[in-house]
Every structure is written in structure tokens, then in C-alpha cells.
Amino acid sequence: DGVTEVLAHHSESLQDKFIEIPCSEDYDSHKRFEGCTPRKCGRGVTDAVITREEAERIRRIAERGLSLGGSDGGASILDLHSGALSLGKHFVNLYRYFGDKIQDIFTEEDFALYRDVRRRIQQRIAQAFGISSASMYLTKPTFFSRINNTEAKTTHDEYWHPHVDKVTYGSFDYTSLLYLSDYTEDFGGGRFVFMDAGSNKTIEPRAGRVSFFTSGSENLHRVEKVHWGTRYAITISFTCNPDHGIGDPVL
């Protein structure tokens, strides 16, 4: 694994930590949007945007939704926008599959909290990178993940491979993760790792912690395999291209 440096320990409460790094050339092969497309690149961590209590409420949304399905392997996904829900080795559309029963699972308050959290994260990213939050658009996929140590059954379960978000999803310009459970208390393994030349920079999840970064090759990353327990998080990503924007999920 080379040298590992912990950027954010699970036991500390960080106000704001930001590290600027040179941008990759990934953005050059896409249309540039002045005042939004990254010219300043980097990564940040904060425990000051979302409270632990809010993170618990959001985790309960994830738990309720994922209890309707779940992957046969170790990684389950719930996307409130598209309705995609892991079920066995496949995905179903939550909204079509459960129809009106959805009203018994989620409330308007759930979706209002989701919108509020998304907005605050968006503003924090804009502030860190010196852009206008109005020039950023939520983009897909934006999803809850539940990871445990069950053996992978399909390629969707193999979450631990190094990847670049801008390469995987062309629309991504800024990626954020809101952690909904605690490293070493709720699960073991499952740390987030930036893979830099010569060393790894690691973030230990903590409920309410937000990590965010520009989505290009300057932030090659992976998630360690979860060894025990259950790790919950939500990935919320933004694009500068309004054509790739999506609205907040609605009940």
C-alpha cells in the first residue's frame, strides 16, 4: 500500500480542512463552463456542515429504503432520483416496484432534509473552490450506499477498485461524500483512500463528515474493503453542465 497519511481521523471533529492540488487535464476534453469548471483543484473535509444528528436521520432514510431490497453481494445502492434499488443481483425501480406504498416508507420531511443537506454541501464546495454555487448542478448518479463484508456476487459489488469519477461519469466535476456511520464503531475497513504518487491520503468516515473533491484524475481514489459491520454513506455529485443537471428527488 505504500505510505499512508490520515487526512481526517474519525475521532477528531474538523472545522474545515482543504488541500489544493494541481488539476489534471481531464476537464480539457469536456466543454468548459467559465466560473464553474475546475481551475483550482483539490480536496476538502469538514465536520461542520452537517450535524451528527442530521446524519443519523439521513441514515434512517437509507435504512428504510434499502430494507426493501439489498444486493446479494456486499454493496447495496439506493438512488432516490432514478429509483434504482439493489435487489439480489439486479436493480429495480423503487417507485415502479412499490408504487403508492412509497408514501409509507418516506415522508416529505425526509426529502426536505435531503434537499437541505444537498444545498449546504453545494455551498461549501462552491466556497472552497471559489465558484458560484448557482453555476453548479446536481448530477446523476447520486446515491446511498450500504457496504458490508458479504462476498461480491457481481461487478457492482466490487467497490474497492481505484477509479476516477470524471472518467467513470463524464458529467462529474465535483464529488462529495456524506458519511452516515463511524469507522471502528459501526464498521472496520472501509476507509476512503486518495491514491497519490508515493503515498495514500486516507479519510476515516465519521457520521456527519463531508469529504469533497474535484472529480478528475488528480483525485484517483478507492474505498477499502469493509471487514466487519455496515458502512453507510451518500454520494452527492455536481456538474457544471446544465444539460447534465437533475432536480432534487420528489416524493
List pLDDT tens digits, range 41-69.
999 999 999 999 999 999 999 999 999 99
- Ranking 129-133, 154-158, 227-231 by mean pLDDT, the lowest is 154-158
Tell me if 218 sits within 8 A of 22, measured CB to CB.
yes
Give residue 18's pLDDT.
Answer: 97
Q: Which residues of 207-223 are buried (b: 16+ CB within 10 A; e: fewer)?
A: bbbbbbbbbbbbbbbbb
Tell me if 213 sits within 8 A of 169, measured CB to CB.
no
Residue 4: band (very low, low, confident or very high) from pLDDT cuts 50, 70, 90: confident
Arithmetic mean of pLDDT, 143-165: 93
Give residue 1's pLDDT.
Answer: 52
Give residue 100's pLDDT.
Answer: 84
Arithmetic mean of pLDDT, 207-220: 98
Give residue 22's pLDDT.
Answer: 97
Q: Is-catalytic flag, 231?
A: yes
Distance of CA 44 to the CA centre of its chain: 13
DSSP H/E element including 70: strand 70-71
Residue 97: band (very low, low, confident or very high) from pLDDT cuts 50, 70, 90: confident
Arithmetic mean of pLDDT, 8-20: 96
pTM: 0.96
Arithmetic mean of pLDDT, 230-238: 98
| Topology adopted by domain 4-244 | Jelly Rolls (2.60.120)
Give residue 171's pLDDT.
Answer: 94
Residue 128: band (very low, low, confident or very high) from pLDDT cuts 50, 70, 90: very high
Whole-number Å distance between alpha carbons of 160 and 192: 10
Residue 178: band (very low, low, confident or very high) from pLDDT cuts 50, 70, 90: very high
Whole-number Å distance between alpha carbons of 186 and 207: 10
Give residue 170's pLDDT.
Answer: 92
Arithmetic mean of pLDDT, 141-168: 93
| Domain ranges (residues) in the chain | 4-244
Q: What percent of the chain has pLDDT over 90?
A: 89
Q: Is the pLDDT of residue 139 over 80?
A: yes
**Residues 59, 124, 191, 231: which is the catalytic one?**
231
Instruction: Using only the alpha carbons of the chain, give its radius of gyration.
Output: 17
Give residue 2's pLDDT.
Answer: 59
Give the number of other CB atoms < 10 A from CB of residue 171.
21
Tell me the pLDDT tens digit for each residue of 99-123: 888 888 999 999 999 999 999 999 9
Longest dimension (CA), the chain: 52
70's CB contacts (< 8 A; 6+ apart) are 76, 86, 87, 146
Tell me if 118 sits within 8 A of 236, measured CB to CB.
yes
Cell of 184: 471502528
Whole-number Å distance between alpha carbons of 229 and 184: 9
Mean pLDDT for all residues in the chain: 95
Tell me the one-letter amino acid at 78. L
Beta-bridged to residue 5, according to DSSP, are 201
